[in-house]
């Protein structure tokens, strides 16, 4: 769907459906980050209200370096990622940039965008949030991608200390408040 044929009603229905499926997974799935003994009491995640203003078109600037980036995690370990592209966009009147990554040695089919913003530690998880999306073809061949911050989510470590979650590197610390996606209860 291009920016020209964006259907806000359909988008909102799809977002609400996505959130319902995620709540069902957290409430009942064996792989849920919610401990089994707490799943019966789980009554859903908290979200900011859907807001199409947080769905932005980003210009893609490919990163040609084959260097691996090491991200620290919430449990003092490290994970390896490869930088794929800088994503330049405007949000709340501010020009911003986030770096998109793939897992080191991965297939590159999914773009991982960890970030912090001015809500981090206030109304959202203190270690940051993530966005992930599937890439049709090579993202570096695209001129633009859609970043929908309404899909921003807390990593599993926000719900269970047993998970090791990468911490967003400083280059992905935004100077704006992103009041979209998952929020603290």
The confidence score (pLDDT) of residue 172 equals 97
Q: Is residue 33 part of a domain?
A: no
The confidence score (pLDDT) of residue 134 equals 78
Residue 104 has pLDDT above 90, yes or no: no
The confidence score (pLDDT) of residue 3 equals 54
Longest CA–CA separation in the chain, Å: 48
- Percentage of residues in the chain having pLDDT higher than 90: 79
The residues near 166 (Cβ < 8 Å, ≥ 6 apart) are: 71, 72, 73, 79, 81, 114, 155
**How many contiguous H segments (helices) and E segments (strands) does the chain have?**
2, 9
10-29 pLDDT, tens digit each = 999 999 999 999 999 999 99
24-34 pLDDT, tens digit each = 999 999 999 99
Pick the residue with more confidence: 2 or 88? 88
Q: Is residue 120 part of a domain?
A: yes
Question: What is the number of structural domains in the chain?
Answer: 1
Q: Is residue 173 part of a domain?
A: yes
The confidence score (pLDDT) of residue 107 equals 66
The confidence score (pLDDT) of residue 133 equals 85
Q: Is residue 16 part of a domain?
A: no
Q: Is residue 11 part of a domain?
A: no
122-146 pLDDT, tens digit each = 999 999 999 998 777 777 778 899 9
- pLDDT bin (cut points 50, 70, 90) of residue 1 is very low
DSSP E strand stretches across the chain: 46-47, 55-62, 68-72, 78-91, 94-103, 110-115, 129-134, 144-148, 182-183
Q: Is residue 34 part of a domain?
A: no
Q: Is residue 176 part of a domain?
A: yes
Q: Is residue 144 part of a domain?
A: yes
Residue 5 has pLDDT above 70, yes or no: yes
- pLDDT bin (cut points 50, 70, 90) of residue 109 is low
Mean pLDDT of the chain, nearest integer: 92
Q: Which domain holds residue 98?
A: 47-183
Pick the residue with more confidence: 154 or 134? 154
Would you state the torsion angle of the CA atoms of residues 85, 114, 10, 14, taken in this order, to the nearest 10 degrees? 130
């Amino acid at each position: 769907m291009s920016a020209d044929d964006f259907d806000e009603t359909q988008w909102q229905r799809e977002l609400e459906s996505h959130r319902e499926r995620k709540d069902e997974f957290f409430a009942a799935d064996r792989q849920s980050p919610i401990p089994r003994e707490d799943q019966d009491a789980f009554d859903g995640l908290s979200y900011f209200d859907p807001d199409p203003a947080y769905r932005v078109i980003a210009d893609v600037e490919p990163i040609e370096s084959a260097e691996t980036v090491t991200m620290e995690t919430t449990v003092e370990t490290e994970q390896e990622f490869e930088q794929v592209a800088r994503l330049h966009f405007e949000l709340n009147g501010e020009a911003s940039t986030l770096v998109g990554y793939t897992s080191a040695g991965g297939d590159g089919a999914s773009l991982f965008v960890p970030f912090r913003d001015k809500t981090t530690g206030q109304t959202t998880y203190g270690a940051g949030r993530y966005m992930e999306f599937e890439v049709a073809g090579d993202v570096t061949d695209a001129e633009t991608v859609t970043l929908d911050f309404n899909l921003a989510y807390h990593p599993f470590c926000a719900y269970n200390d047993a998970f090791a979650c990468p911490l967003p590197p400083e280059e992905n610390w935004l100077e704006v408040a992103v009041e979209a996606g998952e929020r603290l209860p």
